[in-house]
Amino acid sequence: IQMTQSPSSLSASVGDRVTITCRASQSISTYLSWYQQKPGKAPKLLIYAASSLRSGVTSTFSGSGSGTDFALTISSLQPDDFATYYCLQTNDLPWTFGQGTKVEMK
Amino acid sequence: QVQLQQSGPGLVEPSQTLSLTCAISGDRVSSISAAWNWVRQSPSRGLEWLGRTYFASSKWHSHYAVSVESRITIIPDTSKNQFSLHLNSVTPEDTAVYFCARLQWGSKYLDFWGHGTSITVSS
């Protein structure tokens, strides 16, 4: 299953609303999770089951979608949110990641 | 709190075997609610899932990505509560950062990750 993530990068300011999308090449139900990665660090789980917020993750992050189309939204971008974000499908093997979206400061 | 501690050499010669270990604390490698995975990351391939091992129905199971399935083995070690990655016949294309990660069954997400090991394949 191919995961097409967009955009590949975006520039935004603190306080902006940001949306990143992921499209699966076939239905993956809600077996979609979102990760944040900072340079030199492992990815960190933010959202699982498409829309469930991991405990301890700020509620400015939210996820939506099912089937083939998914979105990660940051309602109000904070300084700590500048990072690269990835989606991952775990519906079918091999599990596949999106190409990533780098969120940069405008 | 689950922690995954990776260990292994950072430099591997071409045609040799890359071996990494992921030691688990806060969970058991034989847990029936989790699977244990290896993922790698390189500029050319992005994040790539390599394979998993897990215990279910009284036996061990392993599944691998097609891109490496002829060269990869993931082995659990219950006595040391860890699992290992062995990738043989490596080439410079296997140069990447390698991560171990736990997958929770149910909603199937990678909730805990190792810190990553940078592997260079070079003579």
Interface test with B, best of A95, A97, A99, A101 (most B CBs within 10 A): A95
Query: What confidence score (pLDDT) does residue B107 get?
Result: 86
Cβ within 8 Å of B, A 53-82: 54
DSSP designation for A95? P
Cβ-Cβ pairs closer than 8 A, A with B, add up to: 52
Query: What confidence score (pLDDT) does residue A56 get?
Result: 97
* DSSP string across B8-50: --SEE-TTS-EEEEEEEESS-TT-TTEEEEEEEEETTTEEEEE
Q: Which tokens belong to A98?
A: 């999106």
Mean pLDDT in residue range A11-38: 98
Q: What are A46-102's pLDDT values in tens digits? A: 999 999 999 999 999 999 999 999 999 999 999 999 999 999 999 999 999 999 999
The dihedrals phi and psi of B93, each to the nearest 5 degrees, come to: -65, -15
**CB atoms near residue A43 (< 10 Å):** 26
Spatial contact of A73 and A60, defined as CB atoms under 8 Å apart = no
> What is the C-alpha separation between A93 and B25, in angstroms, rounded?
27
Query: Residue ranges of chain B with pLDDT lower than 70?
Result: none
> What is the C-alpha separation between B106 and B8, in angstroms, rounded?
31
Query: What confidence score (pLDDT) does residue A28 get?
Result: 98
Query: What confidence score (pLDDT) does residue B106 get?
Result: 86
Whether residue A31 lies within 8 A of chain B, CB to CB, comes out as yes
Spatial contact of A35 and A85, defined as CB atoms under 8 Å apart = yes
User: What is the DSSP pairing of strand A9-12 with strand A101-105?
Assistant: parallel
